[in-house]
């Protein structure tokens, strides 16, 4: 299946805003988890229906609703109604092939980007789409399946003294984005460490397996880049936003995030270049190795050519061939042959051909 462009439904021209899930279904039943907190209290529940949520937007506490599983249209449209999300946003959420982007509305902010994880066995990067809607003191996040990189955030939420409990939903959004970017760095770093090792292997031991690995890493780097570059644009846009939903005290954190985004993109670019260099070095190493073999064999063969010729000459059946009747003819010839071989060897040595 194409990884770089997700399959859309084949029927072009459907009404924009139709909630048809695009992607692989990765979980059975959607799971909803509501964390409601302010500096005083923290409630953390898995909820079954959205009915209990109605109070959420009214209260003064900050609410974080996380939904794992996007393939149930009913649920999605319910969420849409509850939080007054436009149909276009809902469509972007359920289409897991969506390009990372940020959209601003007068009283809401919509972000969608990819979370990357490394399947260590296959050495492949998996991407899961994370969408987040920030509206008032509510943050709603959408993931394709349970399991994410946000456990440390939940841990920190439990600590009453932390900044996270003090500041609002915009800081929570920042914290989640920070996690996502930290994770980008981690994934790139794990690949990068291996990539930097290639340097020596490529010159010392260029096996076809190594070549395949290099190509794999190049593909994965291209895949990461596809997720990371638009994510950087998002942060840039976020840093420039004048939307009041982002309070001024968040600004320095966003700037920090932007540095991290630059760093990820820089690193990806450097590693891509490095992999291209490795590919070239690999080619060169393989060619040189083959050339050495061919040169050796050719030199070896060349030494025997005049010797075989001499043997051929004295294998001729002419009636009159005086050398054949010399007493030591045979031994003299063997001596000549040895001398020719030695001279040739010396010459090749001198020319550094062997």
Based on the shown chain and the rule CB under 8 A, indicate whether residue 342 belongs to the binding site for its own copies.
no
Least distance in Å: CB of 112 to its own copies? Answer: 10
Q: Residue 108 forms beta bridges with which residues?
A: 105, 135
Query: Can you read off the two tokens belonging to residue 155?
Result: 């841990």
Q: Binding residue for its own copies (CB under 8 A) from 40, 46, 248, 316?
A: 316
Q: Is 20 in the site for its own copies (CB under 8 A)?
A: no
Using CB under 8 A, which residues numbered 175 to 194 contact its own copies?
175, 178-179, 182-183, 185-186, 188-189, 192-193
CB of 37 to its own copies, least distance (A): 15
Residue 33 near residue 45 (C-beta atoms within 8 A): yes
Per DSSP, 28 falls in state S
Residue with tokens 């190049």: 218
Q: Which of 47, 313, 342, 343 binds its own copies (CB under 8 A)?
A: 313
Footprint of its own copies on 66-95 (CB under 8 A)? 86, 88, 92
Q: Which residues in 135-164 contact its own copies (CB under 8 A)?
A: 149-153, 155-156, 162-164
Q: What angle do CA 183, 70, 104 make, to 5 degrees?
A: 70
- Residue 222 binding its own copies, by CB under 8 A: yes
Q: Is residue 267 close enough to count as binding its own copies by CB under 8 A?
A: yes
State the sign of the Cα–Cα–Cα–Cα dihedral 198, 202, 204, 205. Answer: positive
CB of 86 to its own copies, least distance (A): 7
Give the 3-state secondary structure percentages of the chain, helix then strand then coil, rounded to 5: 55, 15, 30
Nearer to its own copies, 42 or 299 (CB): 299
Residue 312 as a binder of its own copies (CB under 8 A): the answer is: yes
- Identify the residue among 27, 219, 241, 340 touching its own copies (CB under 8 A): 219
Any contact of residue 286 with its own copies (CB under 8 A)? yes
Cα–Cα distance between 141 and 128 in angstroms, integer? 13
Cβ of 176: how many Cβ atoms within 10 Å?
22
Site membership for its own copies, residue 242 (CB under 8 A): no
Least Å distance, CB 99 to its own copies, is 5
* Residue choice 330, 339, 343, 345 for contact with its own copies (CB under 8 A): 330
End-to-end CA distance of the chain: 51
Kindly tell me which residue out of 55, 293, 342, 345 binds its own copies, with binding defined by CB under 8 A: 293
Smallest distance, its own copies to C-beta of residue 321, A: 5
Cβ closest to its own copies, residue 38 vs residue 256: 256
In the bound state with its own copies, the residue whose beta carbon lies nearer, of 55 and 190, is 190
CA-nearest of 5, 34, 190 to 116 is 190
347 binds its own copies (CB under 8 A): no
Q: For tokens 């909630």, what's the residue?
A: 19
Among 8, 43, 158, 166, binds its own copies (CB under 8 A): 8
Contact 154, 34 (CB under 8 A): no
66 vs 87: CA distance, rounded Å? 19
Is 250 in a helix, a strand, or coil?
helix
User: Which member of 43, 158, 259, 342 binds its own copies (CB under 8 A)?
Assistant: 259
Of the candidates 290, 342, 343, 346, which one interacts with its own copies according to CB under 8 A? 290
What does residue 176 show for φ and ψ, rounded to 5 degrees? -65, -45
* C-beta of 136 vs 348, nearer to its own copies: 348
Q: Cα–Cα distances in Å, from 295 out to 107, 117, 204, 282, 283?
A: 74, 47, 20, 20, 18
């Amino acid at each position: 299946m194409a990884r770089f462009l997700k399959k859309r439904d084949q029927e072009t021209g459907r009404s924009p805003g139709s909630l048809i899930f695009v992607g692989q279904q990765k979980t059975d039943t959607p799971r909803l988890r509501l964390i409601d907190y302010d500096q005083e209290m923290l409630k953390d529940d898995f909820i079954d229906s959205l009915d209990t949520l109605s109070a959420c937007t009214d209260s003064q506490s900050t609410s974080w609703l996380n939904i794992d599983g996007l393939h149930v249209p009913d649920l999605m449209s319910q969420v849409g109604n509850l939080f007054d999300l436009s149909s276009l946003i809902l469509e972007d959420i359920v289409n897991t092939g969506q390009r990372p982007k940020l959209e601003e509305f007068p009283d809401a902010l919509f972000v969608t980007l990819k979370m990357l994880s490394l399947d260590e066995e296959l050495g492949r990067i998996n991407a899961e789409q994370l969408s987040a809607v920030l509206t008032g003191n509510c943050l709603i996040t959408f993931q394709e399946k349970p399991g994410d990189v946000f456990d440390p955030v939940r841990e920190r939420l439990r600590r009453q003294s932390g900044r996270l409990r003090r500041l609002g939903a915009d800081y929570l959004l920042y914290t989640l984005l920070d996690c996502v970017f930290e994770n980008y760095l981690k994934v790139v770093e794990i690949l990068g460490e291996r990539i930097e090792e290639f340097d020596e292997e490529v010159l010392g031991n260029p096996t076809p397996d190594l070549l395949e690995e290099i190509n794999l890493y190049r593909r994965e780097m291209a895949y990461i880049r596809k997720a990371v570059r638009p994510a950087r644009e998002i942060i840039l846009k976020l840093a420039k936003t004048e939307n009041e939903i982002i309070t001024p005290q968040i600004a320095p954190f966003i700037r920090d995030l932007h540095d991290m985004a630059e760093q990820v993109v820089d690193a990806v670019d450097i590693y891509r270049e490095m992999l291209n260099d490795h590919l070239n070095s690999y080619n060169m190493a393989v060619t040189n190795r083959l050339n050495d073999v061919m040169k050796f064999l050719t030199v070896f063969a060349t030494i025997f050519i005049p010797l075989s010729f001499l043997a051929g000459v004295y294998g001729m059946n002419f009636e009159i061939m005086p050398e054949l009747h010399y007493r030591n003819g045979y031994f003299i010839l063997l001596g000549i042959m040895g001398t020719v071989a030695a001279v040739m060897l010396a010459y090749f040595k001198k020319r550094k051909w062997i």
